[in-house]
Amino acid sequence: MKYSKLFPKTLKNAPSGAQSLNHQLLVRGGFIDQLMAGSYSLLPLGWRVYLKIENIIREELNKVDCQEMLMPLLHPREIWDKTGRWSDPAVKEIMYQFKDIHDREFGLSFTHEEIVMYILGKFVRSYKDLPVLVYHFSTKFRNELRAKSGILRGREFIMKDLYSAHTSEEDMWKWYEVIKDAYLKIFKRVGLDVKVVEAAGGVFTKGHTHEFQAFTKNGEDTIYFCEKCDFIQNKEIFEGKTGDKCPRCGGEIKVSSSIEVGNIFPLGTKYSNALGVSYQDEKGEKQEVWFASYGVGMTRLIGTLVEIFHDDKGIIWPNSVAPYMVHLIGLDLQDAKVVAEAEKVYKLLQAEGIEVLFDDRIGVSAGAKFADADLIGIPYRVVISKKTGDKLEVKKRSDKETEFKTLDQLIEILTSR
């Protein structure tokens, strides 16, 4: 992609309302645009990051026999009435509910437990039909009273939600571990060090659940953890304070701010019973279906990456999710020879399957181009100018030093990763 054609360009200043760091950097870099409080467009650069993450999740979930599908966003009240959640005050606070011109009541999806269970009810008859593990990437709506924290907490956002149905509690827990492992692989691949934390179930279940938390300075959540063992709980359920003895091993309890990027809910039989979904076992006897759900906030994950991977100049994307791998900068582009060389490098890198953003603007200073590259945060900055001759000036976004490399050397570095 030539930067001259990229929509839109970077912005010099963050919008006045942008308090959180992820919001500021993502808006300035041209990754997102705010439509209203808590609602953002993913602009072309941001959408590329999104697709990278989506693809990693798809690969890891498909590996463990999860099946992708897509469920509707507009839900009839009747199905939500079956679990009683339609009228639950905690749900009514966050679910957009409205009537159409025929006075039929609808809600906008803030989650899909009821809907997936309704669908399962049409198809699950026998133990042979289980387990089922289905997921989708889909829009969620939550009428947040105070939408804040940039794309960490939106009124409209994308979530990957996975639902699993089982013949027994034992099978549910078995798959619960399989998915937990898949999640840990996903977070590792996108570049995050994530911890599995015990937490409250909120509007989903009265039992405890597990959250995937990324420790960072400006997180919404507070996590208490033992410095010695793997005891780790969300503030919501932790009974104690920093410096206390760990209830499990006696080690010291510490505290960290963090961001929740995923969660898993072992929901048991509540939803299947409410929707009347059961199965016949080998003996022909009717049995309860066990159920769990698992979520990853997609747009939130992008915001989390920015909160963690940045410096005072801009974003530093992990390679696996970067919108492009190389930010090629042409300087002295009044010179036809430099233009020809830059165009050649641009094409040859792409021919090797390397994704390149090529800053081909004429009349923009080197300083401005470097500042844009730092802000956008693509892993490798490659400069071609009158001075670079038959070499390329290469700098990793995460490093300070520049090095001179031949094109072949650069390709070698980028394709051997």
**Footprint on this chain of a copy of itself (rule: CB under 8 A):** 1, 4-9, 33, 35-36, 39-44, 46-47, 50-51, 65, 67-76, 96, 98-101, 106, 108, 115, 118-119, 122-123, 128-129, 132, 134, 136, 139, 141, 143, 155-156, 158
Query: Nearest approach, Cβ of 257 to a copy of itself (angstroms)?
Result: 29
Query: Nearest approach, Cβ of 118 to a copy of itself (angstroms)?
Result: 7
Cα(325)–Cα(1) distance, integer angstroms: 12
Query: Nearest approach, Cβ of 179 to a copy of itself (angstroms)?
Result: 16
For a copy of itself, the closer of residues 219 and 303 by Cβ is 303
Which tokens hold the place of 287? 């049995």
From the list 40, 30, 46, the residue with the least C-alpha distance to 155 is 40
The H or E element spanning position 272 is helix 270-275
Cis peptide before 131 (omega within 30 of 0): yes
For a copy of itself, the closer of residues 51 and 368 by Cβ is 51
What contacts 207, CB < 8 A, 6 or more positions away? 201, 266, 268
Question: Could you give the angle at the alpha carbon of 274 between the alpha carbons of 270 and 275, nearest 5°?
Answer: 120
Q: Other CB atoms closer than 10 Å to residue 128's CB: what's the count?
A: 10
For a copy of itself, the closer of residues 98 and 404 by Cβ is 98
Query: Nearest approach, Cβ of 52 to a copy of itself (angstroms)?
Result: 13
For a copy of itself, the closer of residues 111 and 234 by Cβ is 111
Query: 379 near 324, Cβ under 8 Å?
Result: no
For a copy of itself, the closer of residues 101 and 336 by Cβ is 101
Query: Nearest approach, Cβ of 73 to a copy of itself (angstroms)?
Result: 6
Cα(154)–Cα(411) distance, integer angstroms: 40
**β-strands 290-297, 156-166 pairing:** antiparallel
For a copy of itself, the closer of residues 150 and 219 by Cβ is 150
| 74 DSSP β-pair partners | 108
Query: Nearest approach, Cβ of 136 to a copy of itself (angstroms)?
Result: 8
